[in-house]
Structure formats: structure tokens, C-alpha cells
Amino acid sequence: MYWGISTKEWPNYNRKGAAKMSQFTDLDMLYDYEKDAASAAMGYMTLATRAHHGDLRNIYLRLANEATNAHSKVSKLINQNGGIA
């Protein structure tokens, strides 16, 4: 027994878990990516405001800009797929 599952049930458990994972739609994954891109943009911008070295600040600002661009693109994909971004 491991975490309440006998070793004989492991192959079936993995197949059931994989079946549950496949129930996510493309829109679900796009929403997740949109959330991650927004979080990255906010995080990089926060780090840019905290950086004292100018070159490091510029790197964080570029990263924030790239994350913002990715967020914009994924928002367009969500709208195209019938979601609300």
C-alpha cells in the first residue's frame, strides 16, 4: 500500500489520472497561460522597481514587456476561441 493505493492498482490509477487530465479543453489551458503571463509581467515589473543597478532594471523591464506581449497574444486567442479575456 502506498498512499492508500495497492501496488496492483498503480497502472489503473495512472490511466484514470491520465483520463482526467485529458478533460481540460484548449480554452482552459489558454486561461491558465493567460494567468501565468499576467503574473510574470507583474513580478518582473515589481523586480524592476526594486533593482538598484540600471542594467538589471532594464533586463527586468524587457522581461515584463515580453510577458505583457505574450499576455496580449494569448488574450486574442482566448477571444477567438469564444472565451472572455
Q: Is residue 11 part of a domain?
A: no
Whether 35 maps to a domain, the answer reads: yes
Residue 8 maps to a domain: no
- Flag whether 63 is in a domain: yes
For residue 19, tell me if it sits in a domain: no
In a domain, 85, yes or no: no
At 2, is the secondary structure helix, strand, or coil?
strand
In a domain, 43, yes or no: yes
Torsion sign (Cα): 59, 65, 68, 73: negative
Query: What is the pLDDT tens value at each position of the chain, 85 positions in all?
Result: 445 555 555 555 555 555 455 566 889 999 999 999 999 999 999 999 999 999 999 999 999 999 999 999 999 999 999 998 8
Cell numbers at residue 18, please? 491520465
Tell me whether residue 71 is in a domain. yes
pTM for the full predicted model: 0.69
Number of separate domains in the chain? 1
